[in-house]
């Protein structure tokens, strides 16, 4: 009888051990099925805290265009700091318990700490999703047609977007947004977003580029235009097209 119990316990352990890799594989598949990972990145977890999302690729996946060290520091240090500071900033206020989308769209109601850190979390959550290994190229389909009809050609769009990114004074972001069904290129300072109610150009972002120095300085130093030019090689146009379709 004791021998039978022992053998049964071995069987349970074997099954559990065999399930672990399967569980990890299932989690990986689940993350890949959702464009924003497993769930809405801008909503809180069950404990009421915003969390740092996992990247949809490894830190070295975007090399040689964006280096591993920059990606690791950018995600695990800078983005993580925005998450921590946002949780601290909303604790005990009427923003606590709200989704990040709701906070961002009504940002004028909140203090600068919520604006800066909320924008930092929101913008980075989007930024990571709009890049991928072996990305780049030229968008086709409905998005490609809209870019051509709005800007004259993809090359002209690329030139205008790159200029918006290169000429953003200090720190900030360049954006392609949908405003009343039309594509518009704009830029914002610091961690502001076109979805904020204080934005000069309001709209739904479908593409964005981080031009804070921490996004490129380790590899490119002060050569922001070179960073911008190389970034075009990692754009996830499938995700941009999906967001364009939803935003119209």
* Secondary structure E strands in the chain: 172-179, 182-189, 204-210
- Which parts of the chain register pLDDT below 70? 1-48
What's the pLDDT at 42?
A: 65
Give strand pairing partners of 156: none
> What phi, psi does 205 have (nearest 5°)?
-70, 135
Whether the pTM exceeds 0.75: the reply is yes
- Token duo for residue 76: 């695990």
Give pLDDT, residue 117: 98
Q: 65-248 — its CATH code?
A: 3.55.40.20
Given this model, what pLDDT does residue 246 score? 96
In the prediction, which pLDDT does 70 show?
Answer: 98
pLDDT of residue 26: 36
> What's the pLDDT at 95?
94
For residue 11, what pLDDT is reported? 42
Token pair, residue 50, equals 């915003």
């Amino acid at each position: 009888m004791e021998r039978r119990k022992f053998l049964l316990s071995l069987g349970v352990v074997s099954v559990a051990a065999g399930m672990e890799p399967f569980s990890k594989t299932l989690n990986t598949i689940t993350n890949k099925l959702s464009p924003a990972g497993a769930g809405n990145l801008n909503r809180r977890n069950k404990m009421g805290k915003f969390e740092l999302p996992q990247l949809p690729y490894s830190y070295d996946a975007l090399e040689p265009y964006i280096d591993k060290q920059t990606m690791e520091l950018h995600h695990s240090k800078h983005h993580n700091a925005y998450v921590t500071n946002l949780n601290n900033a909303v604790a005990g206020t009427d923003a606590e318990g709200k989704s990040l989308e709701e906070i961002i769209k009504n940002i004028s109601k909140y203090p600068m700490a919520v604006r800066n850190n909320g924008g930092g979390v929101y913008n980075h959550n989007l930024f990571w999703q709009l890049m991928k290994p072996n990305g780049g190229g030229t968008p086709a389909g409905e998005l490609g047609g809209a870019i051509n009809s709005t800007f004259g050609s993809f090359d002209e769009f690329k030139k205008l977007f790159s200029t918006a990114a290169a000429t953003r004074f200090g720190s900030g972001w360049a954006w392609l947004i949908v405003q009343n069904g039309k594509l518009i290129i704009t830029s914002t300072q610091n961690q502001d977003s076109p979805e904020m109610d204080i934005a000069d150009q309001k709209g739904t972002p479908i593409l964005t580029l981080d031009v804070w120095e921490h996004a490129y300085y380790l590899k490119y130093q002060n050569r922001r235009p070179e960073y911008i030019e190389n970034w075009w090689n990692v754009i996830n146009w499938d995700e941009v097209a999906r967001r364009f379709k939803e935003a119209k």
